[in-house]
Amino acid sequence: MEQAELVGAAQEGDRQAFEELVRRTYVDTFTLACRLTGNQEDAGDVVQDTYLRAWRGIGRFRGEAQFSTWLYRITANAAATHVRKRYRHAAEPFDDLNEPAEEYPDTLPEAAAESGELLERLATAVAALPPKLRALVVLKDVYGLPHDEIAEELGISVAAAKVRLHRARRRLRDMLYDQGEEAHAV
């Protein structure tokens, strides 16, 4: 069955059609949730919430955008809600529980080690962004969505999407530059 047929059947209450939509979209939804929340455990909760919201709202899906775009928007909203709740209930970690960073094996070439460190710094910086800015960076720079689709998914204007993306990238640059300076100063 084509995706549009599955959506139509799901809108009529066909659970098997919806389950097939879940099977077809799960990997992309989970990947997006991981990138938005920063870890797999929270991503699993977000994915569960996403599909619950999608099942409850499938009747309101008008088909003006692709089903995947509609699902991205639900995922982004579920992730933002989850992250807000997590930060409200977050506790300070104990310093003595922090484990030392793993050393790179001697077998890795120096360039690969530096590349890994850069990717780790970038992932940490993206995770440190507020959820709304993180969503923009992930949707644009990871998924390659155009500004108009991002704006539609997040329920904002195209101009707002561009401005927020610029702010997010500027914050990333500042965080990465500051981290880089501190690392080189030591």
Reduced to 3 states (helix: H, G, I; strand: E, B; else coil), residue 103 is: coil
The predicted structure's pLDDT at residue 105? 47
| Token duo for residue 114 | 């530096």
pTM of the model: 0.58
User: Which CATH number does 110-186 carry?
Assistant: 1.10.10.10
Reduced to 3 states (helix: H, G, I; strand: E, B; else coil), residue 130 is: coil
**Whole-number Å distance between alpha carbons of 154 and 135:** 9
> Does the 1-90 domain belong in CATH 2.60.40.10?
no
How does the average pLDDT of the chain come out, rounded?
Answer: 81
The predicted structure's pLDDT at residue 100? 45
**Whole-number Å distance between alpha carbons of 86 and 78:** 12
**Whole-number Å distance between alpha carbons of 154 and 73:** 6
The predicted structure's pLDDT at residue 108? 45
The predicted structure's pLDDT at residue 96? 43
The predicted structure's pLDDT at residue 122? 79
Domain extents in the chain:
1-90, 110-186
pLDDT < 70: residue spans in the chain: 87-116, 179-186
The predicted structure's pLDDT at residue 124? 82
The predicted structure's pLDDT at residue 15? 94
